Chain A
Amino acid sequence: MYEFDFEKPATVAEAVAALGREDAMALGGGQTLIPSMKQRLAAPSALVSLTGIAEMRGVCTGDDAALCVGGATTHAAVAAEAAGRYPALAALAGNIGDPAVRNRGTIGGSLANNDPAADYPAAVLGSGATIVTNNRSIAADDFFEGLFTTALEPGEIIVEVRFPIPERAAYAKFQQPASRFALTGVFVAKTANGVRVAVTGASESGVFRWGEAEAALSADFSADAIAGLSVPADGMVSDLHGTPAYRANLVKVMTQRAVSAA
């Protein structure tokens, strides 16, 4: 790993200023960035740790309609602190990686990274959440732009994620047992405005919404309602864990499981 300057600011404003340096990068929990730096896939000149910014940590409780999660909140903290208000989100966070990864990894880091097999993108897109950065709010539908690509500008920090709380929701994950990432994971949320279905792990272009299932489930929220639907294998990931057809089938099966669990 190449050497870099390390900074640990105490406020968002100081972090934004520090990230203005050329080739500076934000450091969340480091659970993705540190392994990438060891492989020299990332070589920032400066790392700006966000773990010392108190205003970016924790789950808010004030607002009845929404749950807001600070951008530097660990997966373990979401699992514990969101359990009462948004159990589907807490359960998803509590199944990311392993306990040590959950004690460091953060929601902001996971979303900024946008790994095509990561769990949080499904919850954020499935809930229709809003990503609040240091200078704007971005709707989930506009945030994810494909593999490891998001709407974030260089140096922009995810300060908070605001989740509207659905009437019913669940996440069903078919886990790749060695990495524990999602081979396919589906987040289903039923709200007064209809149903949203977000799929991670399956598509070559990252997390996506399954519109056909959303329409069918909005009319009838039951696993049977999508029994007749199928997902085309075109554009699904092909690797040693599964063929595109296998993943396309998993999308439907995981959606049905999520609906039954919601």
Chain B
Amino acid sequence: MTALIDARTLADRTTLDTDLVIIGGGPAGISLALSLAGSKLKVLLLESGGVNFDPAIQKMYSGAEAGVRYAPLDAGRLRQLGGGTNHWGGYCRPMDAIDFETRDWVPHSGWPISKRALEPYFPRAQALVEAGPWIYDQKGDAENAGAGSVLPLNGGGLYTSWFQFSKMRGDVLPTQFGNRYQEDLKRAPNITPLLHANVTAIRLGTNGKQVERLDVATLTGKHFTVTPRFVVLACGGVENVRLLLASNDVMKNGIGNQNDLVGRFFADNPIPRDVATLVSFAGPLAPFYGANQKLPDGAIMRATFATTAKFCRTAKVAGSLSTIEQPVDLDETGKAAVITTAIALGVDASNARTYSLGCGMELMPDPDRRLTLAGQKDALGLPRLKLEMRIADEDFARFRRTLVELGRQLLASKAGMLRINCHKREDWLKNMDWGHHHLGTTRMSADPKQGVVDGDGLVHGMGNLYIAGSSVFPSYSASNPTLNLVALTLRLGDHLKKVMA
């Protein structure tokens, strides 16, 4: 039994020797550590934060943003044990098979692995995020539980799909990895979790192919060194970039950046609100459309309108998950539209209900949406980051085609109708939220010229440096990333067990 060790209590200038060092104790770092618990590997987990939030530590996350309005860099993530799961929404959904494919209508898309490579890891990932039984898209689960009926959509490009939610332990929702798994980390004899330990540089050997040591510092002025055989960088999709770019004493452009890719292709899932008004002719939608529903088997589910792979291919759209937000009222034109259309279709709309619709969109990869180092430095001397945020009109145009198809399906099934509320770019941006899903900045590709890491997460050109987390996603999906990045990280755990044996 080890404990959570506070790095501020270590002797200054200590050197720690280990088989594997994991940098970052968010869901990626913690999942990886747990997957190696009980193995023969000596694992050191370095986490910048403590168990609780500390504004001084959080401040190291601040940076600059330009372009499309986006959350400040210190607002969309948390620098403490458990990382982003200390404030996540718990939405889980596995990525679809098409998300991994090279889609000729989505430039720069395609993973070097298929969804099949992740499938063996989803059950454990689902257990770690505590999202209950795996019943995504098993048609009828929510219906059978008496929670209401699925809206008929008559085939076509969209279907009712499901989120499941991380949950549990009384009222605590959702799972905060730091709180939830710290006892498991302490119990594992081969894992040493070190808190308040900030990695400030990744030091390479002179050949630039091997990490030799890490520089680590505390905010109280202690410095120490870690000499590992292998390193996994798991600091999240923003901070991974900072450490790679700032560690530039041997590789002048930063580690893994020989093709100027580190920090490029930044992405998130935009969540434009009130993009459309959905009318249900038959009356109120089943409650699982507008809110989380707890099923007797323990699953917490919520319905969403997802795109089929066939529709994505034929309509050349990206992924999207459109979700009912709240009841809204119709204006006079809206009433006229509903009355006129329902009568023509021969439908009784006397009990019609109207809702606003929001969406989680998949962005197209864009090399110029990127993170770069800025001039200013943080308390430990690391350059801060600057984000250039962009979103293309084409991203909105594609999603608009998806909404048109949903409107067509509602009419075809005589279930309802749809109004598109966004016409100009400003309309889309007006009510725009973001998922705070930091994706794509160290993208995965089998080709070293197209990616920072290979299909196993190994940094191209390096022998012992891996990256875990959603920064490796080369194209993004509309599904929330955490369940998927945990599955990918568990796969990395298996890989490391083999290569480090």
Chain B binds chain A: no
